[in-house]
Structure 1
């Protein structure tokens, strides 16, 4: 890992909740310390516009630290997905439309870089992965913009992590109950070029008390999997914290 990679600043554009970084995007930045598939366990909200340092945690793992606070643990991982049938294009389009029509659903963080309805085209990713008709899959189309590319002309890894993240929250289908990303593991098989039309698809894997599990894939135009993720979401049970998050993100 280079010295430059050891210090990361998350720009406020890439927020999830208004006061912290989008979980998938932030994790994708941290995960670049690992060569290959990686898992990031978030232990505190990723701060915006403040340096986060990566330090060696031994046995191939790293920690992301801001001041005295450990933000995340990063380690090599194995990603396994067994996707249910992915809906056809018409069903994906319907899922997108239904997401935008749902005024009472899970849009608790409307300014999220990935899924926020209030983010303008060209600013947020605007991946609106609603439930596909007659399917357990949530999905939407996504065409990465040119400003998401790295020096090699391909979409940077952190944006693929971001696109894999939010759909897994909606795939839980827990309504207005609030969950926060606890862990995300990602494997990238191919980084796409800007302008490729992709599908972001996700589905629920199960739950254990307040822990909810889901997985996601990014598919290219030939419906080949180019990236995959396994996620863990934690359901919040602190009414004061839930109200605080709702108020801050209204």
Structure 2
């Protein structure tokens, strides 16, 4: 499976104890396997850093937060093992967020599609702009949002997840995502959102680290089975991506 040379992950840690993880893969921040693995590893590493209290998860650019899986890599998958490995990348990131002892703040500046919705759902407190409409497009190309479902349903409920999944060509507004519980605060501009993110992250970084760790455990209670579940789901997606329906759909796109 080929890597994408244009994918990048930047890590910065401020003296306040706030770490910022910025992933980028122009033009739409699609996720190749190398970026998913690097992101999961970075989240795990920051969880072990005593200087870090809060993690901000964001992407580069202004238009799209994340367009989901890298379609070029999906099209190149020709066996079940590679398919499972690819979708396990999303499982690793979600589980890294879930198991991290640090509170993770999401910054969604633009559209989130497919796995991008899963990344937003895996954060503990998610900010967005009015431009951050969301869509689960998987069924349109012959697969399903299997790996990200537990994280998304945990935030918006199975009913809203079902609605998004069964209307895979429809974008839902940031306001809708706010009302469903995916986003916690929505702003008109990126500047306004960033100001609020800085304010909350720096305030949280002053709180008792032990209290934050214990709160994190409570926020993610009853999810320990995801260590197995998400990889079982990755195998389902890995099988579906091999279908001729999916290959044809990806070629058209």
TM-score (normalised: structure 1):
0.26
Pick the structure with more helix per residue. Answer: 2
TM-score (normalised: structure 2):
0.26
